[in-house]
DNA sequence: AACGTAACTGAACAGGCGTGCAGTTGCCAA
DNA sequence: TTGGCAACTGCACGCCTGTTCAGTTACGTT
């Protein structure tokens, strides 16, 4: 055999990325061989090099796609920059939780395999990460200026909030005790508490 | 050469663990070879097997030591079970932040390399992790019963708080903008906010 | 129907992997 | 001072690694 019947380059390209994502998430980048990826795709190892110049680039492309898609998805939410910081924080938290719950593997890889990027690729991804962090930091800073949030240290609160929100991907399992929408609601509440503006959202109390 | 002059089994045993911790933290378990560890210790690869039966056990021992030491260190804080939940939460947060800031490598490995444990070792470590999580969950639940904390979902708040607190190890660098004690204070404040008991600690505002 | 090219195989390369073990050396107790 | 053991070397084993490439087959176009 050589070329498979019904084969198409684009289909295989996608299959390679998906197989790599699944395997990297389960075993880690360094622990997965090109032969394992190839076998998951149903192809010989050599064929992978039609789609990536090397293993390192395969990882980089996965992280880059993930971050760019994340940023584009937030942009597509079309949350107006003139909306109140409270509304924007609520929207952001719902978006972040939903996005992270839906793509556990890519999220996992994206902060687990950063150290396996070579320095150049690492700093390219860092730029995108920073850009994403700026979204929430901007909301908090503006909310503080408006007086609707009470924050001691915006940078530290940003880091704490991102850690708290992203943490959902370490324990969430499909079909668990809470539905995604309930989880999102709880995180909205907790984000408001952290921001010192515990009103809105849940109202009452 | 064979035996080195001035050599002692116990010294080498410690050196092996420390070299492994440093290398695992920097490159990941799977990406580090026994030969690299040996070379960092100043020894040939074969000599490592005087101190560990295999690479897997070396990782397990590191995680186990870390978790046991963490639990023992908390116990040594001697925080009375009769103290108020507020006081206990404050003590716990200060302890957790200080501990995690002082041992970044071991902390990093302990949640990064869990998936590289074989199933038996994994569940042994999970028991210890659960035990640690119970400490904070217990404080929150009791505080809720006492009426000094206002919490919707204790389990979820626990996970959020642990993620927030442990997140410090992803960005903290020695000599950074904030001193450890300041960071701890901020995290105490934020923990109280999350727990819905924003009084105490910082007082005023 | 013939041809070019896209898709893929299968073997090969040099090097690294975890681990085992016979042999060598330094240290300490008798 | 001699024996025994603890500490370690150096090489070997079989296997796996990422990557390359000449050869083979299916598909799309002319």
Distance CA B161, CA B136 (A): 9
Task: Decide if pLDDT at A90 tops 70.
Answer: yes
CATH of the domain at A125: 1.10.357.10
- B19 domain residue, yes or no: yes
Q: Please name the residues between 97 and 116 in chain B that touch chain A, using a CB distance below 8 Å.
A: 111-112, 115-116
Task: Decide if pLDDT at B203 tops 70.
Answer: no
The answer to whether A62 and A20 have CB atoms below 8 angstroms apart is yes
* Residues A42 and A64 grouped into a single domain: no
Task: Decide if pLDDT at A201 tops 50.
Answer: no
* Residues B28 and B72 grouped into a single domain: no
- B20 domain residue, yes or no: yes
- In the prediction, which pLDDT does A10 show? 87
The torsion defined by the Cα of B113, A161, B154 and B165, in degrees rounded to 10, comes to 50
Task: Decide if pLDDT at A204 tops 70.
Answer: no
* Residues B104 and B134 grouped into a single domain: yes
* Residues A43 and A71 grouped into a single domain: no
Domain boundary among B35, B52, B69: B52
* Band of pLDDT at residue A44, cut at 50, 70 and 90: very high
* Residues B95 and B148 grouped into a single domain: yes
Domain of B27? 1-52
Tell whether A167 lies on the interface with B, counting CB pairs under 8 A. yes
CATH of the domain at A18: 1.10.10.60
Which residues in chain B touch residue A161, judged by CB atoms under 8 angstroms apart?
164
Range in A192-201, B31-40, B85-94, B166-175 the model is least confident about:
A192-201
* Residues A146 and A160 grouped into a single domain: yes
- A205 domain residue, yes or no: no
Distance CA B6, CA B48 (A): 18
Which residues in chain B touch residue A176, judged by CB atoms under 8 angstroms apart?
none
- A201 domain residue, yes or no: no
- In the prediction, which pLDDT does A200 show? 44
Number of domains in chain B: 2
Report the protein residue whose CA lies nearest the C1' of nucleotide C26.
Answer: B3
The answer to whether A20 and A105 have CB atoms below 8 angstroms apart is no
- B202 domain residue, yes or no: no
Task: Decide if pLDDT at B205 tops 70.
Answer: no
* Residues A107 and A48 grouped into a single domain: no
* Residues B111 and B36 grouped into a single domain: no
- Quote the tokens at residue A173: 């399992």
* Residues A98 and A128 grouped into a single domain: yes
Using alpha carbons, select from B53, B17, B71 the residue that is nearest to residue B25. Answer: B17
**Cβ separation of A30 and B31 shorter than 8 Å?**
yes
Tell whether A160 lies on the interface with B, counting CB pairs under 8 A. yes
* Residues A141 and A113 grouped into a single domain: yes
Q: Please name the residues between 173 and 202 in chain A that touch chain B, using a CB distance below 8 Å.
A: 177-178, 183, 186-187, 189-190, 193-194, 196, 198
* Residues A35 and A61 grouped into a single domain: no
* Residues A174 and A79 grouped into a single domain: yes
Average pLDDT over residues B136-150: 94
Task: Decide if pLDDT at B40 tops 70.
Answer: yes
């Amino acid at each position: 055999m050589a070329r498979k019947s019904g084969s198409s380059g684009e289909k295989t390209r996608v299959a390679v990325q998906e197989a790599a994502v699944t395997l990297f998430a389960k075993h880690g980048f360094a622990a997965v061989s090109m032969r394992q990826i190839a076998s998951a795709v149903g192809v010989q190892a050599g064929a992978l090099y039609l789609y990536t110049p090397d293993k390192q680039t395969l990882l980089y492309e996965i992280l880059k796609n993930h971050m760019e898609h994340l940023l584009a998805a937030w942009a597509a939410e079309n949350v107006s920059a003139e909306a109140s910081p409270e509304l924007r924080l609520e929207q952001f938290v719902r978006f972040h939780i939903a996005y992270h719950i839906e793509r556990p593997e890519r999220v996992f890889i994206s902060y687990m395999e950063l150290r396996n990027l070579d320095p150049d690729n690492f700093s390219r991804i860092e730029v995108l990460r920073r850009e994403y962090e700026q979204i929430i930091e901007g909301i908090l800073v503006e909310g503080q200026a408006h007086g609707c949030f009470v924050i001691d240290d915006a940078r530290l609160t940003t880091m704490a909030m991102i850690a708290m929100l992203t943490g959902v991907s370490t324990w969430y399992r499909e079909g668990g005790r809470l539905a995604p929408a309930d989880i999102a609601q709880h995180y909205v509440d907790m984000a408001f508490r952290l921001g010192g503006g515990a009103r809105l959202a849940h109202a009452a109390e």
